[in-house]
Structure 1
Amino acid sequence: MKNVTISVAAAEFGRDMEAGYRTIANLVATARERGSQLLVLPEACLGGYLPSLGGGDESDEAKARRLRSLPPALELDGPELRRVIDMAGDLVITLGFCEADGDVRYNTAVTLSGDGILGSYRKVHQPLGENLCYAAGDTYRAFDTPVGRMGMQICYDKAFPEAARLLALDGAEIVTSLSAWPTSRTATVENLEDDRWKQRFDIFDRARAVENQIVWVAANQAGTFGSLRFVCSAKIVGPGGEILATTGVEPGLATATVDVAEVLGLARGGGMYNLRDRRPDLYHDVIAEFGVVGQPGIPNEVLETVNA
């Protein structure tokens, strides 16, 4: 496909599934009006996210309360996702939900169309006690879709360059990054533009795009849920790190039309093709277990401080 029109949402989703379906239907309708072939929705669309992030010094009472307030766990082949498949038609949609695999829960993203599920991904990197609610995934894999070869990530994954690099090396041209990314829990500010976690969110999005020379599409939750306030900032980033469209700090739908083959060719054809010019023969220490005293390149006193 020469030109791909991409829409990405900053939208509010909570526990009310019917309200969530109405929001999805409205976003699908708007994306269709704009001629979109790909619509990217946030993490935890169906049933909402966790009401708080805990762990560490969290009290037993707070932990019990949080575990009683989990989102509904849905199966990949269940009727809940079938409703979205039926909405999709020829539109490719990426969205997040809590997946049930027997008694185990995963924070999951799927890409689907009217033909069914095209790819699924279970979140690997878990922040701030999320592991108390979800099991971790263990795979990054790209997959083919009508809009090109894609990969998926969820929220905290974007903080890890290795995760995006694995997808790029597997041929992903477009990576969708779904989030329920909140404001900073400390040093809070009134203006979302000044929030340090919002700024971090934006830096990661642009860095992952430019270092892999891919199209990066970042969705996020909006509004509030439990103790969390979300930063919005849904965006489409080109392979040079340029922001092609964004919602800013407001809910909405950002849309851009991209000739994916052309922009990737321009980014990679000017003599600096990052994937080609890697030196993996020198990177072996990067994948060593962090925290081993005596690890090359990391002073022992630093490791001992981190592990204290």
Structure 2
Amino acid sequence: MSRKLEVSLAQMDLTPLAPADNGERLVGIATAEAKAGAGLIVFPELCNTGYVEPLAPGGGFPSGCASHTEYAKRLYAAAADRDDALIQALSAVADHYDSHIVVGLALRSATRSGVLYNASLLLGPGGIHSCYAKTHLWHNEKLYFTPGRSMPVSDIHTARLGMQICYDIRFPEITRCLALQGAEVVTNVWASFRGADDPIEDEGLFRHRAFTRAQENGVFFLSCNRVGRQGDMQFMGRSLVARPDGRILAALDHEKEGVLRATLDLDEVVAYRMSTGILNDRRPELYGTLAENDLLV
């Protein structure tokens, strides 16, 4: 019996430090896609708050904040708790339509006051199914977020799903650890940008990265990036879905808002892994010693 999963990737613009406005749009898109039959809906990184400011070291505060201190306070206020109204609303959509939602959020720690995570949440019937906190923090993210220490994998209907966030893609260990825990689908939610007045250096950047992580692990790799402008930076969009052998199944080759829809045939995961031996042929007994030592010291 064939296992198939309908997915929707929402490539959207976001308003800095405006969780209510952003949340209203998220719920609207999630409802429409779930109603149309999507079993998995994916949203970009930091959907409730927008990306952190300054976006790049040495930059300014497009949101109008006068200092890091003021921005940090506003970011914390705009972040979500685990019982946040937005999480409840998206969970209600998932529950009503028996679907799942992956959404990037600035999330307050449930146990430590003043601690924030750059998180990717898997929501489904009943609420939060798993939470991944970004392990590798990019530049100014380190000013505000605490890095995560776990890589959960969860069941969603016909597949097992793992999550990562943006910069994590440059560390192959993340996707491999998810695959070794049984992940067949890996989501990467982005807020990847360039200078608004600078040409994009490589139109195929996101394709190259998704191809590599997909084919070296035999997973469907779902790459969902945001769009829009924040200060002098332009978010690059170009969301896509890569098949287990790396071939691109579907893509939005632009920086405009849109929803990318695709059908994943999970039998392709089995076929690719069996034909290549990509997981069976690993030699972890050889890698371990090197991995445990920091060769740069």
- What TM-score, normalized by structure 2, do the two folds share? 0.87
Number of the residue aligned with 1:28: 30
SS at match of 1:129: helix
1:83 equivalent in alignment to 2:83? no
More deviation, 137-146/104-113: 137-146
Q: Equivalent residue for 1:98? A: 106
**1:203 maps onto 2:213 in alignment:** no
Aligned ranges 1:235-274 → 2 under 5 Å: 235-249=240-254, 250-260=256-266, 262-270=267-275, 272-274=276-278
Q: How many positions carry a matched residue from both structures?
A: 282
Q: Which residue of 1 aligns with 2:198?
A: 188
Structure 1 portions without partners, runs of 5+: 293-308
Structure 1 residue 141 corresponds to structure 2 residue 119: no
Please give the alpha-carbon distance, in whole angstroms, between the structure 1 residues aligned to 2:184 and 2:226: 24
Q: For the aligned residues, what is the CA RMSD? A: 2.3
Work out whether 1:41 is the aligned partner of 2:46. no
Contact 2:108-2:117 at 8 Å conserved across structures: yes
Structure-2 separation of matches of 1:36 and 1:254 = 11
C-alpha distance after superposition, 1:234-269 (max 9, x if no partner): 111110111111122132111111221x10122112
Structure 1 outlier segments of 4+, above 4 Å:
61-66
Shift of 1:86: 1.6
Structure-2 separation of matches of 1:227 and 1:7 = 29
The answer to whether the aligner puts 1:8 opposite 2:9 as a matched pair is yes
Change (3 A) 1:26 1:187: closer
Which residue is equivalent to 2:124?
113
In structure 2, distance between residues paired with 1:16 and 1:49: 11
Note closer, same or farther for the CA distance 1:287–1:161 as it changes in structure 2 (3 Å cut): farther
The separation in 2 between residues aligned to 1:282 and 1:275, in whole angstroms, is 15
**Do the aligned residues in 2 keep the contact of 1:52 with 1:228 (CA within 8 Å)?**
no
Structure 2, gaps ≥5 residues long: 61-65
Other-structure match for 1:157: 168
Matched-pair contact (CA < 8 Å) for 1:37–1:147: no
User: What's the offset of the Cα at 1:68?
Assistant: 5.4
* Whole-angstrom distance in 2 between the partners of 1:238 and 1:47: 31
Q: CA-to-partner distance for each residue in 1:206-227, whole Å, 9 max, x for gaps? A: 1111110001111111111234
Rounded Cα–Cα distance in structure 1 between residues aligned with 2:130 and 2:286: 33
Identity of aligned residues (%): 28
1-structure distance, mates of 2:59, 2:100: 40
Change (3 A) 1:290 1:26: farther
Checking the alignment, whether the CA contact within 8 Å between 1:108 and 1:123 is kept in structure 2 is: yes
Rounded Cα–Cα distance in structure 2 between residues aligned with 1:180 and 1:280:
33
How much has 1:48 moved relative to structure 2? 1.8
TM-score by length of 1: 0.84
Q: Which amino acid in 2 is paired with 1:10?
A: Q
How far, CA to CA, are the matches of 2:107 and 2:137 in structure 1?
15
CA separation of 1:18 and 1:201: change in aligned 2, threshold 3 A: same
**Alpha carbons of structure 1 residues 141 and 227: separation in structure 2 relative to 1, 3 Å:** same
Deviations 1:55-74 (A, max 9, x none): 4x679x76456545526121
1:3–1:106 CA distance, 2 compared to 1 (3 A): same
2:234 — aligned with what? 229
